[in-house]
Structure 1
């Protein structure tokens, strides 16, 4: 059977169903087998792996996932694509399709029900308009995931893997690196999609840590401190944290920073994740 990674086959399916691409759903179908094989290789999928794919489209990547893994659960928000997927994936007995918005699902319960609570791998060409909420949902809701390998907008990948004191380093960098070790799998040109997106893409692998990179007393306070520190990048930590929703005045913030041996004139982008942990742990004892 001809794979959907063939541009001819993709166009044939699209025309057969009169499918119209939705910009609001970020629909761009991958039509390059070399990129797909790099995603499969970068995911290090084994025959006993369980896979969750978000946004399968017409099933192009799904076909390769099904042939590499034990079972694939594909979550598609667009109900118009369900009959298409029933045709393109009908011959794969190890694929299950769910028509739903992934952000509305209880993913932890779903993994328990569908995979008996076994750890899964998330492999997907994510809709770019909702990339960050999807990634953070898997991480923050403590879904049993061991790897997240996803196609994202290049600038998002750059932000995820960024280090302190760089222009890309921000709250997303710290939030993801708290849970994961990021690494780039491959860069992806615009030309390998139908239709061509307006941005360059990157496949990034997030190796989920058994335990978060740092110990924090209160995870919510940690993330609030991080977001507040980057809210106004040009402001010092003293000013950023003083005018945040932490409920602490400037004198209190100054005292806390002194106790943490952090210069109040520093900016959020200069702190590494360990320093954010120290700072948030001190604040957690007060708020």
Structure 2
């Protein structure tokens, strides 16, 4: 059993000190806002439900605030950081603030938009991350698609994005992110995070989203891409009926209606009324093998 008793967390002074040492100025391009509140990172870890048996994948660890909180609870943490300066400093931060857990931490300098399992030294079981807000949805979908060992995901994203991800069929904000996230499992809002726990303080609110994986539709990449392509087509013109919206995808409105009826879907319905299972049936009926759609 690992000893987490001496793990210390970063506060506002430590965050600013590390940033000054590294000459780091948080950039909007990388979506950098560093959490400096210990209670917030502890709450994120608690909501994630990770424990000593989990290997946690953290994306965008930054200066290490959430990383240290994860090391208080998780069995192991592997962080993916795109910024080489931040990535190089993280192991030393762990040595200083969590000396008994330094052997349970790895950092990989990579882009989370394209990182693959073979690039990691361990196999992760859970995703816990403060995702860069400008690429949060494509990163989340990429990781859930390419890391089938992830049984749970708890991510912090922009509040509006959290609402869209967790929205159900029939909601006015239900759309492509909502449906695609549900391909992987049960999705729910898991809390809110105030602006004052970040440095610099963002102009937007933040929210937590949790996904509990259910591999109902399997893990075949072609099946996923076919389904996602149908989803993209349905919502490209979301005010149109499925018969009209899918005409280009199907090769004409008559063919779209034929496929919809074969999938037991009303051709006059709009995409916002359909669940992910409906799109899966539609893709299977169509036998679509068009590449793309992971994001």
TM over 0.5: yes
The verdict on how the C-alpha distance between 1:99 and 1:136 changes in structure 2, with shifts beyond 3 A counting, is: same
CA shift, 1:16, in A, is 2.6
Contact 1:139-1:179 at 8 Å conserved across structures: yes
TM score, norm. by length of structure 2 = 0.86
Residue of structure 2 in register with 1:276 after alignment = 279
CA RMSD of aligned residues (A): 2.5
Q: Please list every run of 5 or more consecutive structure 2 residues that lacks an aligned counterpart in the other structure.
A: 1-5, 291-295
Query: Could you tell me which residue of structure 2 aligns to residue 104 of structure 1?
Result: 114
TM-score (norm 1): 0.89
Q: CA deviation at 1:214?
A: 11
Q: d(CA) in 1 for partners of 2:279 and 2:250?
A: 18
Match of 2:176 in 1: 171
1:5 offset after TM fit, Å? 3.5
The CA distance in 2 between the partners of 1:230 and 1:60, in whole Å, is 38
- One of 255, 264, 269 as aligned partner of 2:267: 264
Q: Is the 8 A contact 1:180 1:212 kept in 2?
A: no
Which secondary structure does the structure 2 equivalent of 1:145 belong to?
A: coil
Instruction: Kindly indicate whether residue 12 of structure 2 is the aligned counterpart of residue 7 of structure 1.
Output: yes
How many residue pairs get aligned? The number is 280
Distance 1:210 1:220, change over 3 A: closer
Determine if the alignment matches structure 1 residue 143 to structure 2 residue 116. no
Q: Any stretches of 5+ residues in structure 1 without a counterpart? A: none
Q: Give the deviation of 1:149 after TM superposition.
A: 1.0
Aligned pairs for 1:226-241 within 5 A: 226-241=231-246
Q: Does 1:76 align with 2:81?
A: yes
Deviation at 1:105, TM superposition (A): 2.4
Which residues of 2 match residues 237-256 of structure 1 at below 5 A?
A: 237-243=242-248, 246-256=249-259
Tell me which residue corresponds to 1:61: 66
Deviations 1:251-282 (A, max 9, x none): 11122333344332221111122322332222
Q: For residue 23 of structure 1, what is the aligned residue in structure 2?
A: 28
Match of 2:105 in 1: 95
Question: Structure 2: how far apart are the matches of 1:215 and 1:266?
Answer: 28
1:148-184 deviation line (CA, Å, top 9, x unaligned): 1111111111111111111111121111111111122
- Which whole-Å CA distance do the structure 2 matches of 1:204 and 1:120 have between them? 17
Shift of 1:7: 1.1
Report the Cα distance in structure 1 between the residues aligned to 2:183 and 2:245, rounded to whole angstroms: 21
Partner deviation per Cα, 1:58-117 (whole Å, 9 max, x = no partner)? 11111111121221111111112134323311232211111221233222x245xx23x4
Structure 1 position 216, deviation (Å): 11
Deviation per CA, 1:219-275: give whole Å up to 9, x if none. 3222111111111111111111013xx242111112233334433222111112232
Q: How does 1:131-210 map to 2 (within 5 A)?
A: 131-210=136-215
Q: Distance in 1 between matches of 2:219 and 2:76?
A: 33
Is the alpha carbon distance of 1:221 and 1:82 closer, same or farther for their aligned partners in structure 2, counting shifts above 3 Å? closer
Q: Is the 8 A contact 2:7 2:72 kept in 1?
A: no
Per mean C-alpha deviation after superposition, the further-off stretch among 139-148 and 195-204 is 139-148
* Alignment CA distance shift 1:83-1:34 (3 Å): same
